[in-house]
């Protein structure tokens, strides 16, 4: 019986499998940023400034006016306060603890902003899905990438790390290459209300452009 998989889809699947195999075959200490191209991964800079020529290509931020809550001192009084790095006990200053705490603070801010927004942003972005529905449809093999399990989507990733730093990464496929566009590391050891709100705008933003067409290098 002939396969219904198109040549283009097979090319995409083969490329993803090759990249996955290369990376999984490396020890953690062998992963060198300068050698990404040898694994068909290309990295470039990105800027969250909307007027920048290197802003995200497939995402746009929501309007600042939709976030009715500012992450200021008043906001912190009603929820968990923002702990600046110098105020944290050395016992809880490990990078992993700092990253987890920042994720928690940001998550609470996102939910509070969405719930109190005048247009209730979450109505457009999030929706409930049954476990018997789309997430598991076509999942024929849960350990290896096979036809029927691969869908290529653009991703905007918020990466938090210790000690209290963060960056945003846009990732997508360009032909058979994997592209990572990253912002510089943002230093959040001291609270930056404007940056927290900017993160919120991008997190609650929308897709833009032709997301069905692969970007060419």
**pLDDT band per the 50, 70, 90 thresholds, residue 216:** low
92 vs 145, which has greater pLDDT?
Answer: 92
Segment 115-137 shows an average pLDDT of: 54
Q: How far apart are the first and last CA of the chain?
A: 36
Of the candidates 146, 158, 71, the one whose C-alpha atom is nearest the C-alpha of residue 116 is 71
Contact 43, 33 (CB under 8 A): yes
- State the Cα–Cα distance between residues 160 and 189, nearest whole angstrom: 12
Asked whether the bond before 163 is cis by omega within 30 degrees of 0, the reply is yes
Beta bridge partners of 180: 43, 171
Contact 139, 149 (CB under 8 A): yes
Of the candidates 36, 5, 65, 75, the one whose C-alpha atom is nearest the C-alpha of residue 180 is 36
SS3 100: helix
Q: Which of 21-30, 40-49, 189-198, 206-215 has the lowest mean pLDDT?
A: 206-215
- State the Cα–Cα distance between residues 60 and 198, nearest whole angstrom: 11
pLDDT, residue 22, reads 86
**pLDDT band per the 50, 70, 90 thresholds, residue 119:** low
- State the Cα–Cα distance between residues 68 and 124, nearest whole angstrom: 17
pLDDT in tens, 153-203: 788 999 998 889 999 999 988 878 899 999 999 999 999 999 999 999 999
pLDDT, residue 127, reads 46
pLDDT in tens, 8-19: 777 877 888 888
Does the pLDDT of residue 151 top 50, yes or no? yes
* pTM summary value: 0.79
- What are the boundaries of each domain within the chain? 34-207
Which token pair is 126?
Answer: 């999030």
Strands (DSSP E) contained in 51-145 are 59-60
58 vs 4, which has greater pLDDT?
Answer: 58
Cβ-in-10-Å burial (0-12, 13-18, 19+) of 196 comes to: buried
Distances (CA, A) of 36 to 23, 41, 112, 166, 216: 10, 5, 38, 21, 18
Distances (CA, A) of 151 to 55, 63, 138: 24, 29, 11
pLDDT in tens, 37-96: 888 899 999 999 999 999 999 999 988 888 878 899 998 888 878 988 988 888 888 888
């Amino acid at each position: 019986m002939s396969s219904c998989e198109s040549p283009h889809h097979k090319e995409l699947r083969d490329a993803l499998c090759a990249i996955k195999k290369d990376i999984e075959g490396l020890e953690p200490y062998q992963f060198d940023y300068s050698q990404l191209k040898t694994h068909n991964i290309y990295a470039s800079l990105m800027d969250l400034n909307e007027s920048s020529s290197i802003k995200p290509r497939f995402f746009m931020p929501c309007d600042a006016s939709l976030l009715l809550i500012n992450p200021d001192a008043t906001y912190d009084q009603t929820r968990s306060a923002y702990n600046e790095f110098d105020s944290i006990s050395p016992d809880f200053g490990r990078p992993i603890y700092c990253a987890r705490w920042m994720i928690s603070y940001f998550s609470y801010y996102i939910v509070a902003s969405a719930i109190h927004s005048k247009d209730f942003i979450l109505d457009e972005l999030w929706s409930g899905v049954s476990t018997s529905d789309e997430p598991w449809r076509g999942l024929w093999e849960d350990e290896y990438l096979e036809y029927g399990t691969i869908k290529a989507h653009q991703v905007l990733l918020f990466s938090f790390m210790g000690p209290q730093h963060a960056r945003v990464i846009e990732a997508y496929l360009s032909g058979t290459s994997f592209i990572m566009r990253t912002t510089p590391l943002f230093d959040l050891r001291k609270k930056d209300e404007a940056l927290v709100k900017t993160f919120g705008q991008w997190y609650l933003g929308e897709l833009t452009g032709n997301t069905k067409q692969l970007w060419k290098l």
